[in-house]
Amino acid sequence: MELRKYERLNEQVNICSLPNGLVIYVIPKKGYFKSAAVFAANYGGSDMRFRLAGEWHDTPAGVAHFLEHKMFDMEGGGNALTLLSANGASPNAFTSSGMTAYHFESTENFEDNLRILLKFVSRPYFTEDSVAKEQGIIGQEIRMTEDDPEFAVYQNLMKSLYAENPIRVSVAGTVESIAKITAKTLYYCHEAFYNPSNMVLCVAGDIDPARVEAIAREILPPEKRETAERDYGQKEKPRPASGLSDVKMEVAVPLFMAGVKLDVPDRGQERQRRELLMDFAMNLLLGKSSPLYARLYADGLINNTFSGGSTFFPGGAAAVFGGESRDPSAVCAAVIEEAASFASNSLRTELFQRLKKAALGDEIRSFNSLYGMCVRQAAGHFAGFDPFGSMEQIAGFTMEDVSEAVLGSLRPENLAISIVRPVKGES
* Residues tagged active-site: 68
**DSSP one-letter string for 145-201:** HHT-HHHHHHHHHHHHH-SS-GGGS-TT--HHHHTT--HHHHHHHHHHH-SGGGEEE
Beta carbons within 8 Å of 365's beta carbon, 6+ residues apart:
none
Cα 236 from Cα 55, distance rounded (Å): 24
Neighbours of 109 (CB within 10 A): 16
At 141 the three-state DSSP class reads: helix
Cα 8 from Cα 253, distance rounded (Å): 45
Written as one letter, the residue type at 298 is A
Asked if 389 contacts 224 with a C-beta cutoff of 8 angstroms, the reply is: no
Cα 326 from Cα 306, distance rounded (Å): 12
**At 422, which helix (H) or strand (E)?**
strand 416-422
Cα 87 from Cα 110, distance rounded (Å): 9
**At 220, which helix (H) or strand (E)?**
none
Beta carbons within 8 Å of 110's beta carbon, 6+ residues apart:
35, 37, 205, 207
Q: Computed from CA positions of residues 383, 388, 392, 398, in that sequence, does the dihedral angle turn out positive or negative?
A: positive
Asked if 156 contacts 245 with a C-beta cutoff of 8 angstroms, the reply is: yes
Asked if 91 contacts 81 with a C-beta cutoff of 8 angstroms, the reply is: yes
**DSSP one-letter string for 335-401:** HHHHHHTTTT-TTHHHHHHHHHHHHHHHHHHHTT-HHHHHHHHHHHHHHTS-GGGHHHHHHT--HHH
